[in-house]
Amino acid sequence: MAVDLAPAAPGTAGSPILVADIGGTNARFGLIDGRVVRDTRVLRCADYASIEDAATAYLAAVGLAAAGSPGRPRRGAFAVAGPVTGDTIAMTNLVWQFSVSRVRDALGLEGLVVINDFTAVALSVPRLADEDRRQIGDGAPQAGAVVAVLGPGSGLGVSGLVPGANGRWTALSGEGGHVTMAPTSDRESAVLGQLRKSFEHVSAERVLSGPGLVNLYGALSTLDGRGPAALTPAQVADNALSGSDPHCVEAVEMFCAMLGTVAGNLALTLGARGGVYVAGGIVPKLGTLFTHSRFRMHFMEKGRMRDFLAPVPTYVVTHELPAFLGLAEAAGTE
């Protein structure tokens, strides 16, 4: 699959740039070649002992295993699900821990940029076309205003974009997915109380992620005196979409509502009049169920701040590889 990039990232002439979006479950690799991301592959993280093993396997799969082979990348840009504070990276939901300089040398790269995965997603927002996003509810973006980005997947990523001079944007790098989850109803309070029996801290990520969706289903089932089945996040979502299990339906409905609560909190914190973008692997698959959920209602239900949030648009990112668009920018700003 090839993804067109516009404008081209600086410094990509001559050889492609190796890019990777590495989450808790999958590692997505590709090559940025001029204006195009090509040769994309998805590898299961659990199948590899380290990030360099996965990257080496990818290069072999696309015929670039030999050092010095024609077309082998000389630079790389990786997005990882976890904090990036120095040379040593420890991923939040994966056992991989690595040194950026060691991986750079192991792969024979001249340079390697590593950024948080949702920093990369945030950097993609100015590159998204209209067909790469779906608006939920009303509102219109304010030109040149701060943008908020969040998205549930293996964890909950949170970032934002701050406008600067000459049309440039600065992406925030933080760990907002680990803020404390606040309830907005008695039922949500009961669920969070049930989860506190298992977790010392019930963060937003404990309910707004793939594992979080299972946590919600399990807590709701237990509260109603029913032993939860051993379901995967995909099975919970599928059962909700088909309407075959009422606790799965309620879990997904509560997931959407709680995501609206957290998205509204983020918009207030950042003053995100430029819009709020929901990315990640879960929400786009919910389709019209998410569109007609309580997400937007909970997003705006902030008491005296309702009028502040009502004009703020909310979008679902439908582009398959938004982090790669952001890495195209990061690769040119090393």
As annotated, the binding site for ATP includes 20-25
CA dihedral 271→175→94→252, nearest 10 degrees, is: -50
Cα→Cα distances 124→25, 91, 187, 245, 286, Å: 21, 22, 36, 37, 22
Question: Which of these, 328, 332, 327, lies nearest to 114 by C-alpha position?
Answer: 327
d(CA 233, CA 235) in angstroms, rounded, equals 5
CA dihedral over 117, 120, 126, 130, signed as positive or negative = negative
In Å, how far are 76, 84, 168, 305, 324 from 329, measured between CA atoms? 12, 17, 11, 34, 9
- Nearest-CA neighbor of 326 among 184, 138, 172, 143? 172
For residue 172, how far is the Cα from the chain centroid? Answer: 14
User: Which secondary-structure segment (H or E) carries 268?
Assistant: helix 246-270
Q: Which residues are documented as binding site?
A: 20-25
DSSP 332: T
Whether the Cβ atoms of residue 222 and residue 228 lie closer than 8 Å to each other: yes
- Within 10 angstroms of residue 224's Cβ, the number of other Cβ atoms is 11
Contact in structure between 105 and 143 (CB atoms under 8 Å): no
Q: Tokens 């090839």 sit at which residue?
A: 2
